[in-house]
A and B are shown apart, each in its own frame.
Chain A
Amino acid sequence: EVQLVESGGDLVQPGGSLRLSCAASGFTFSSYSMHWVRQAPGKGLEYVSAINPNGDITYYANSVKGRFTISRDNSKNTLSLQMGSLRPEDMAVYYCARDTASPGWDIDVWGKGTTVTVSS
């Protein structure tokens, strides 16, 4: 079964740091681009960051550029998101997601999400 399981969400103070992880299973992880997508409470979806299959091309939303770092370990089938200088507006459910083989940005597999709360 194709599966993505996120972990690492927590309550953190403004200005703090957090590292999210995503364990992939059931597919050849190294063949797919991967995404982090977030959803603030009661709000819509937002692409946060993306990484290509071998990890040498990354994307960041303007809202997180310079504060977040995406990485992957294809030997461990793991995707990570290092989050720094966290702000209240970063509070959201963060989804790990798999891109399809289509050239466009289509996501065919989603994790259940992990919740990041930024509050003092």
Chain B
Amino acid sequence: QSALTQPASVSGSPGQSITISCTGTSSDVGGYNYVSWYQQHPGKAPKLMIYDVTNRPSGVSDRFSGSKSGNTASLTISGLQAEDEADYYCSSYTSRSIGVFGGGTKLTVL
């Protein structure tokens, strides 16, 4: 199963908004509304930020939002804060009844 495609890095200044894309195929991202996003700080376990494309778990800031168009899902972080600097991974359910991760995106807050 090929990994979903994410940009290697994105950056933004505090207060700005950034968007991270996650591109797959009709067999994964485009075929199911089961895309999730994870935040991972160095040396820490990942944390679920978005599930089922748009849903935020309890306790996750509403500055984080998810969307999907066709075979591409997106994570948008508004009002960027220094603590948002981390690696972000998308994941999607697939036609093989399994999940697949994206390659990860390093977010730098300038």
- Chain A contacts to B: CB under 8 angstroms: 37, 44-47, 50, 59, 62, 95, 100, 102-108, 110-113
Contact = CB atoms under 8 A, between A and B. Distances in A.
Contacts of B47: 110
24 contacts: A44-B101, A44-B102, A45-B38, A45-B104, A47-B98, A47-B100, A50-B98, A59-B98, A95-B45, A95-B46, A100-B48, A102-B34, A103-B93, A104-B36, A104-B51, A104-B52, A104-B93, A104-B99, A105-B92, A105-B93, A106-B36, A106-B51, A107-B46, A108-B51
Interface string B5-26: 0000000000000000000000
Contact of B48 (A37, A95, A107): A107
Interface of B: 1, 3, 32-36, 38, 40, 45-48, 51-52, 57, 89, 91-93, 97-104
Contacts of B99: 47, 104-105
A97 to B, nearest CB: 8
A113 B45 contact: yes
Question: What are the 8 A-B residue pairs with the smallest beta carbon separation, nearest first?
Answer: A104-B34, A105-B99, A104-B93, A110-B45, A106-B51, A44-B104, A106-B36, A45-B101
A21 to B, nearest CB: 17
A45 B89 contact: yes
Given A105-B93, A108-B57, A111-B45, A47 B101 contact: yes
Contacts of A45: 38, 40, 46, 89, 91, 101, 104
A112 B36 CA distance: 20
Contacts of B89: 44-45
B61 to A, nearest CB: 16
